[in-house]
Amino acid sequence: RTKSSLGVLIHRVTLSSGRRLVCSSGRTGLFRRHYGVCRCRGLWLVAKLSRLHLPSGCFTEIDVQGFAPPDSNEVVAAAKVCGAAAESPSVKRLHLLVADKDFSFKAGQWVDFFIPGVSVVGGFSICSSPRLLEQERVIELAVKYANHPPALWIHNQCALDSEVAVRVGGEFFFDPQPADASRNLVLIAGGVGINPLLSILRHTADLHRARASTGGGCEVGTVKLFYSAKNTSELLFKQNILDLVNEFPEKIACSLHVTKQTTQISAELQPYITEGRITEKEIRDHISKETLFYICGPPPMTDFFSKQLENSHVPKEHICFEKWW
């Protein structure tokens, strides 16, 4: 996955002719004279060239490692694995204990994930709420199996008490303040793109609890989650999602979609399941001037819904999206 505020380390570029170039990293201001530069969805991809100028759009394959810029002000904190479990056949859930009190995050953000002995830096969205970190110094990740060194390490080598380091990044978050006007949220998730949206959903639940118990704090409107996966076994955190729906029936609702279900759907899930993709009409029915839209999933899905919302005259500042690749 890539993120708009990342630094970029490019391992390989394949040209349309099939030729490959070894690439390097750096900021465009430092490398402009000797590096070919291509803008890609907010990321500067910096390819070192040898007497060759590459026009924009000539890349057919780019192997990218993303990481927060080294001059970032964010804290790099030591973390220890304090829990791990299978969330689905392809996704492993990880709990990390982060003792550093200077480490914090906003609901929806991700972490750079540094593993001793592994040169590639991982990038994973946090799926827990900020409240869990405040109370227990724990963050939660859910990592899909992939042929990528950090993901392979998490699935095959990670064990209790394994030590790593993490650094927060990202501009995709929901962080309302007490003085802000109440907003409704529509969360649109595809596959493992549920992670940052689950963090936001859990955060809104914490805000509802705090307001109910103290009468103060941030006021949040309704939240509607649209979540699509291949089948019910790949709908991550479905029990937690349903628990929140049942705890806040007038505030939180969900519509779970499956696109390739081959087995019978359980009676408990049946009322919330729709077979087929999330439709434009379902989203359009929730448009209002008080509503913010958060979208995270595969790029085609994210592009489709963000474009449809813009075509429906939703202000761009009310549409937040993040892509995973």
Pairing relationship of beta strands 7-15 and 20-22 according to DSSP bridges: antiparallel
Which part of the chain is CATH 3.40.50.80? 183-323
Q: With a cut of 80, say whether residue 308 has pLDDT above it.
A: yes
Which residue type occupies 84? A
Confidence class of residue 14 from pLDDT cuts 50, 70 and 90? very low
Confidence of residue 217 (pLDDT cuts 50, 70, 90): confident
What pLDDT shows up at residue 216?
83
Within the chain, how many helices (H) and strands (E) appear? 7, 17
Angle between helix 194-214 and helix 238-247 axes, rounded to 10 deg:
30
For the chain, residues classed under CATH 2.40.30.10 are 77-169
pLDDT of 190 over the 80 cut: yes
Query: Which whole number is the average pLDDT over 192-201?
Result: 97
Q: CA 188 → CA 45, 61, 98, 321, distances in Å?
A: 28, 28, 29, 9
Where would I find the H helices in the chain? Answer: 28-31, 130-136, 149-156, 194-214, 238-247, 280-284, 299-311
Is the pLDDT reported for residue 29 higher than 60?
A: no
For residue 257, the model assigns a pLDDT of 98
pLDDT at residue 323 in the model: 75
pLDDT over 90, % of the chain: 74
pLDDT band at 226 (very low <50, low <70, confident <90, very high): very high
| 282-294 pLDDT tens trace | 999 999 999 999 9
Residue 11 DSSP label = E
Query: Does 205 have pLDDT greater than 50?
Result: yes
Residues in the chain, overall count: 325
The CATH superfamily holding the domain 77-169 is Translation factors (2.40.30.10)
* pLDDT reported for residue 322: 87
pLDDT of the residue at 41: 29
Architecture of domain 183-323: 3-Layer(aba) Sandwich (3.40)
